[in-house]
């Protein structure tokens, strides 16, 4: 235990660039949004000041419209594509033009709860609460223009689950002709068989160029995007962050923000019901361009455990995770191994990820399913013991995949040991 914790802390220090951390050397040389917020939780176990700074740095680059970008390009680095010259978002410090799962509200509340110096923590939390509230407001307007209580992502990168099977069907509607020639850099740092395909990259780039052509104007992007998908994972994370932000704001005497976020969480929870699939016993993605559920049993549909979903739903998801556990050696696979589209080593089409395990285990404990949560925790730590701190793992063999000495994996180990 002590050895694992000190190795994990060492990785955080190694990838620390002073005011932000890189997810890993080489493959991801800048600051990523949800990586940072989850990494802050890891820092909080040994350096509270550094934990707050990680999030403060991210939010210093929030857009005037409230969006918090998925990458902040703090320094030049030739080793990543697409870099700032492709995004062209015209920000003082270059950033990408899309967002990522909003875990900030969840992380901020947790860091504050555990803080030793409550007065200092309250001061720093209060400044962040206002910014996180603006991000939530942005998501429930720009990405939910009809005020349904469900926000859409407009690019697979926004889900954090870049090449999930979930996007295969909606991606057929995204063109891929006419994009500028490009050279991928990710496949120079990681095994191409563990990464998204060229066809997927072409479409990632098509969407990027399309949004750039519309001047990154978030009043327009949702409606002009041929890719508009409601991801249960993204929405559940947002709902939980709204609920956590409400609790935190209340404690800090910020009543208007508390009320607004409580209302968002309640509305979101009701709306989430639309994504339930009785046939799969889990939530599914909804294609907003066709208003149909997408037939893809991925881990995105299990993440709602993180939100205060009805007990019957939580129980069903608990059984679903046990069924998945019987189909692989390590939980939780990012896609159901019984589905022919499952791919044990390819990024989000099968591999297990510690951050997802952490979010799901948290929800299971809250729903009183400690035994299932404990199995996830044990599986997570065994993966680390066997394969080191990788980006993700083959759930059949435990083989470490993607980048190594990975920051948020290390942060989650600190959390699991906490
Ligand atoms: C990548 O480049 O692989 C990222 O996941 C996109 O943010």
Pocket test residue of 30, 33, 157, 167 for ligand 1, highest count of atoms within 8 A of CB: 157
Mean pLDDT of the chain: 97
Domains (range + CATH), the chain = 2-417 (1.50.10.10)
Could you tell me the end-to-end alpha-carbon distance of the chain, in angstroms, rounded to an integer? 10
Pick the residue whose CA is nearest to atom 7 on ligand 1: 157
Ligand 1 mean position to 220 CA, how many Å?
A: 23
Number of CB atoms found within 10 A of residue 322's CB:
14
Report which ligand 1 atom has the smallest distance to the Cα of 80: 2
Q: Is residue 121 scored above 90 in pLDDT?
A: yes
Choose among 38, 37, 46, 60: nearest CA to 13.
46
277 phi-psi bin (left φ>0, alpha ψ -120 to 50, beta other): beta
Give the pLDDT mean for 334-354.
Answer: 98
Q: Which residues line ligand 1 (CB under 6 A)?
A: 70, 157, 162, 186
Distance CA 50, CA 293 (A): 42
- Position 37 scores a pLDDT of 98
Pocket test residue of 32, 162, 164 for ligand 1, highest count of atoms within 8 A of CB: 162
Give the pLDDT mean for 198-207.
Answer: 97
- Position 103 scores a pLDDT of 98
HSE, CB side, 13 Å, CA atoms: give it for residue 172: 7
* 401 strand-pairing partners: 392
Give the pLDDT mean for 333-360.
Answer: 98
CB 347 within 8 A of CB 163: yes
Report which ligand 1 atom has the smallest distance to the Cα of 32: 7
Ligand 1 mean position to 247 CA, how many Å?
A: 32
Distance CA 225, CA 222 (A): 6
* 285 strand-pairing partners: none
Predicted confidence (pLDDT) per residue in 355-380, tens digit: 999 999 999 999 999 999 999 999 99
Ligand 1 mean position to 106 CA, how many Å?
A: 22
Sheet holding 229-230, edge to edge: 229-230, 286-287, 292-293
Residue positions annotated with a catalytic role? 162, 391
Confidence of residue 1 (pLDDT cuts 50, 70, 90): confident
CA distances from 365 to 153, 268, 333, 368, 370 (A): 28, 21, 19, 5, 5
- Position 15 scores a pLDDT of 98
Q: Is residue 77 scored above 90 in pLDDT?
A: yes
HSE, CB side, 13 Å, CA atoms: give it for residue 339: 20
Report which ligand 1 atom has the smallest distance to the Cα of 162: 5
Q: Phi first, then psi: give them for residue 72, nearest 5 degrees.
A: -110, 120
How many helices (H) and strands (E) would you count in the chain?
Answer: 17, 9
Predicted confidence (pLDDT) per residue in 382-392, tens digit: 999 999 999 99
The percentage of the chain sitting over the pLDDT mark of 90, rounded to a whole number, equals 100
Q: Give the containing element (helix H, strand E) for 156.
A: helix 156-159
DSSP summary character for residue 67: -
Distance CA 229, CA 233 (A): 11
Pick the residue whose CA is nearest to atom 6 on ligand 1: 157
């Amino acid at each position: 235990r002590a050895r694992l914790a000190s190795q994990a802390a060492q990785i955080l220090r190694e990838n620390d660039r002073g005011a932000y951390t890189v997810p890993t050397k080489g493959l991801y040389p800048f600051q990523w949004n949800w990586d940072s917020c989850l990494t802050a939780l890891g820092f909080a176990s040994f350096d509270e000041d550094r934990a707050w700074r990680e999030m403060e740095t991210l939010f210093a680059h929030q857009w005037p419209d409230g969006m918090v970008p998925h990458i902040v390009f703090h320094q030049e680095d030739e080793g990543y594509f697409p870099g700032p010259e492709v995004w062209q978002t015209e920000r003082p410090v270059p950033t990408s033009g899309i967002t990522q799962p909003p875990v900030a509200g969840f992380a901020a509340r947790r860091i504050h709860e555990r803080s030793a110096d409550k007065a200092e923590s309250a001061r720093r939390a209060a400044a962040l609460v206002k910014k996180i509230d603006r991000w939530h407001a942005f998501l429930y307007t720009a990405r939910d223009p009809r005020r349904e209580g469900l926000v859409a992502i407009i690019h697979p990168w926004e889900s954090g689950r870049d090449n999930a099977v979930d996007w295969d069907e909606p991606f057929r509607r995204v063109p891929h002709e006419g994009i500028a020639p490009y050279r991928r850099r990710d496949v120079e740092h990681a095994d191409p068989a563990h990464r998204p395909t060229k066809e997927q990259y072409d479409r990632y780039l098509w969407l990027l160029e399309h949004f750039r052509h519309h001047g990154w104007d978030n009043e327009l992007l949702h409606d002009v995007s041929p890719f508009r998908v409601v991801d249960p994972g993204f929405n559940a994370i947002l709902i939980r962050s709204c609920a956590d932000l409400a609790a935190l704001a209340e404690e800090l005497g910020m009543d208007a923000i508390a009320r607004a976020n409580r209302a968002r969480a309640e509305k979101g929870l009701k709306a989430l019901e639309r994504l339930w699939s009785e046939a799969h016993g889990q939530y599914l993605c909804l294609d907003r361009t066709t208003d149909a559920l997408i037939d893809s049993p991925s881990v995105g549909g299990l993440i709602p455990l993180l939100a205060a979903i009805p007990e019957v739903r939580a129980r069903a998801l608990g059984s679903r995770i046990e069924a998945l556990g019987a189909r692989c050696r390590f939980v939780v696979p990012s896609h159901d191994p019984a589905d022919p589209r499952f791919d044990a080593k390819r990024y989000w089409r099968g591999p297990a990820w510690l951050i997802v395990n952490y979010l799901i285990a948290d929800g299971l404990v809250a729903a009183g399913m400690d035994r299932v949560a404990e199995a996830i925790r044990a599986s997570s730590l065994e993966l680390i013991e066997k394969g080191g701190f990788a980006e993700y793992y083959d759930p059949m063999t435990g083989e470490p995949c993607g980048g190594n000495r990975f920051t948020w994996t290390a942060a989650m180990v600190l959390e699991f040991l906490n």
